[in-house]
Amino acid sequence: MLRALEFGGVKCPNNVFLAPLAGYTNYPFRKMCISLGAGLTFTEMVSCKGLMYGSEETEKLLICGDESPKAVQIFGSDPEIMRAACESEALAPFDLVDVNMGCPMPKIVKNGEGNALMENLPLAEKVISACVKSGKPVSVKFRTGVTENNKRTAEFARLCEGSGACMITIHGRTREKIYAGACDFKEIAKAKNAVGIPVIANGGIYSAKDAEKTMRETGADGVMIARSALFRPQVFSDITGGTAPPMAELFTKQLTETRELYGERFATVFMRKMAAFYAKGKRGAAEAKRRLFAAQTTEEVLSLAMEIL
């Protein structure tokens, strides 16, 4: 199952990727997942309009280091703005641009962005083609469809490939399901059989066993880990056969780097959330969370986290 993967000139040391997670996959978190074995990581999804209008908050999402390869995920629905974003200096450090056509959140969909593009195939094709014209390698992340009664996974996969995408990632649920229920392996397999570019399977992967089952039943070229990485980033080590430092050590480094990059206040709020994720399933987790969310400094957060991790 585990192997190196190359597409569009992007060379990944393995085929176990970290998904773009809004509000979470900032640089220190991505860096930690790489250290644990992730073969490719993605930024939080970045608004192309925000980027072109010079939004400081948008630019913060693009902080990165010298890790290679690295990918940025963008969203939008205006082909020309999407192309301009791909050609911008802000995205120059990234080896791959991933176009979000899977986000099911109402505020994104109502603007005709994210998963809404699966309902507008001509526009989806124009968006992908415009991004490809920038000269950057382009991938697309999408779902099996919008509703359970109208899945179009293979059709959309062919559209992505025909528009110039060098890789696709498929979340095995429709927009209707959001994150509920089992992933549809059959739909991912249909897409894999419909295209010649690499297909990455996403959704419901919490262990090495889950990763193996997903690849076996879909025929996918790799897997993308999402929410399980928030609870236990060592999942990358489990799948890739590496060894992971103790969670307390990982947390301390992540907190320090987050504070250095984003400041005390952001780090306090963000690392409270991360400590709560990492504490899940541990004895006294509920009480620990209550105390964590009352913490007002990173030192308090670190002290409380060390008690439970």
What residues act catalytically?
A: 103
Q: Which residues contact 62 (CB under 8 A, 6 or more apart)?
A: 43, 46, 51, 72, 90, 91, 93
Query: Positive or negative, the Cα torsion across 36, 40, 43, 45?
Result: negative
| Distance of alpha carbon 167 from alpha carbon 251, whole angstroms | 32
Please count the other Cβ atoms lying within 10 Å of the Cβ belonging to residue 86.
25
Q: Which residues contact 191 (CB under 8 A, 6 or more apart)?
A: 153, 154, 156, 157, 168, 170, 199
- Residue 8 Ramachandran class (φ > 0 left, ψ -120 to 50 alpha, else beta): left
Q: Which residues contact 230 (CB under 8 A, 6 or more apart)?
A: 21, 24, 274, 277
Q: Quote the DSSP letter at residue 120.
A: -
Bridge partner list, 17: 40, 224
> Phi and psi dihedrals of 75, rounded to 5?
-140, 155
Determine the straight-line distance between the first and last CA of the chain, rounded to whole angstroms.
31
Give CA separation, 10 vs 6, 70, 137, 215, in Å: 5, 9, 8, 21
